[in-house]
Structure 1
Amino acid sequence: MSISNAILRGVSGAYILQSGYGKLGLPNEAAAGIQGLAATGIPAVADMDSDTFGKFVAYSELGIGGALLAPFIPSRLAGLGLGAFSTGLLAIYFRNPAMTQDDGIRPSQDGTGLSKDLFLAAIAGALVFAPAKKRKKAKNKSK
């Protein structure tokens, strides 16, 4: 793993892992609030039980954060997981009119926090589309 990939994976992985850890044992009311916001971007989550949704979010963030931090997970695979995660967050941002200004792109005061998840999507893209390392072939030492 290159230094640049380690930095991208380390920072985003630690952030997401901490976020997931903070959501463990989330009270039902708090989970329902997050679920209501999430349903604006991903309508299918509205059908879930709020307690189940809270656990799903917490464990998903723990899994994605852990995958980013685990050096034995290939960067492209970790990037795909991060990409799926950040796409969901950006769907909430772009599909909720309260998050953007009238142009539908620039963040409103309420949307500034979520709009920053664009950086996660950029990190995912860097991990997925980074040039593949060429492996050195082992030289046969035959006598």
Structure 2
Amino acid sequence: MAVGRAWRSAARQVPLRLTAGAFFLNSGLSKRDADDATAEGFHQFAAGTYPFLGKVDAQRFVRLLSAGEVAVAATLLLPVVPAAVAGTAVTAFSVGTLGLYLRTPGMRQEGSLRPTEQGISLAKDVWILGIGLSLIAEGLQRKHR
């Protein structure tokens, strides 16, 4: 009976893990060989919100960002990684991107959480937070059974 429940739980995670994992993998791999202008753009955007990143070289920053996204993808795509672990990785990443959305001027309409045209690309990442929190909840629920 417990094996049947565990299998159903894992089966429910497949769509979340595959779609988000593929998204993270594509995003990470596309940044892997970023040219200097692209790296500088990502770096300036992130350092504007998170000033400590200003001390990191732009190319190094983008390589680390790429590696981070590929690592998150691996936690999602490898079925041996527990749901709570994968969910924690996804949630941590999404908190960073949503921080960019909330703290960068021009991303939101004045006095609102509603995105501007420029903010939509980051605001939509709220679905990543939902996926991460769902996986954490599922993983914790499984532990308590």
Between structure 1 and structure 2, the one with the greater Rg is 1
Match of 2:142 in 1: 132
Quote the residue 1:141 is aligned against. none
**Separation (CA, whole Å) in 2 of partners of 1:42 and 1:68:** 26
| Matched positions, count | 135
1:1-143 equivalence runs, <5 A: 1-130=9-138, 131-132=141-142
**In 2, Cα distance between equivalents of 1:54 and 1:89:** 14
Matched residues in 2 for 1:44 and 1:76: separation? Answer: 29
| Secondary structure, aligned partner of 1:132 | helix
- State the identity %: 31
In structure 2, list runs of 5 or more residues that go unmatched: 1-8
The residue type paired with residue 66 of structure 1 is A
Cα separation, 2, equivalents of 1:104 and 1:35: 26
Question: How far apart are residue 134 of structure 1 and its match?
Answer: 6.7
Cα RMSD after superposing both structures? 1.4
Which structure shows the bigger proportion of residues in helix conformation? 2
Stretches of 4+ moved more than 3 A in 1? none
Deviation at 1:42, TM superposition (A): 2.1
- What TM-score do the two structures reach when normalised by structure 1? 0.89
Q: CA deviation at 1:50?
A: 0.5
2: distance between equivalents of 1:124 and 1:80?
6
TM-score of the two chains, using structure 2 as the length reference: 0.88
